[in-house]
């Protein structure tokens, strides 16, 4: 079983010697008692995933899953033309 979310993305990048290429941009919107977090996952400064959630870790996990899907598709040749 493969890892998902931020831990899966960290493992994926670490295995390729690219962990330092990962950065995050986090923001909130809505009321302070019920914020919506938005996290943008960047790899080498390029947005590769965006996610939202009621907590920052949920938004980051959602963004990381989008980034992982992109990276896994890229490595299998699915996203070659869009890189």
pLDDT digits (tens, 9 = 90+) for 41-72: 999 999 999 999 999 999 999 999 999 999 99
Query: What is residue 68's predicted lDDT score, i.e. its pLDDT?
Result: 96
Q: How high does pLDDT run on average in the chain? A: 91
Output helix, strand, coil percentages for the chain, rounded to the nearest 5. 45, 30, 25
Query: What is residue 83's predicted lDDT score, i.e. its pLDDT?
Result: 45
pTM confidence score: 0.86
Is the pLDDT higher at 48 or at 3? 48
Beta bridge partners of 40: 25, 50
């Amino acid at each position: 079983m493969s890892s998902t979310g931020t831990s899966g993305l960290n493992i994926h990048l670490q295995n390729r010697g690219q962990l330092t290429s990962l950065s995050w941009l986090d923001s909130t919107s809505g009321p302070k008692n019920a914020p919506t977090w938005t996290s943008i996952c960047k790899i080498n400064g390029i947005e590769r995933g965006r996610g939202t959630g009621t907590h920052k870790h949920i938004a980051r996990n959602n963004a990381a899953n989008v980034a992982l899907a992109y990276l896994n598709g890229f490595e299998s040749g699915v996203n070659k033309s869009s890189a």
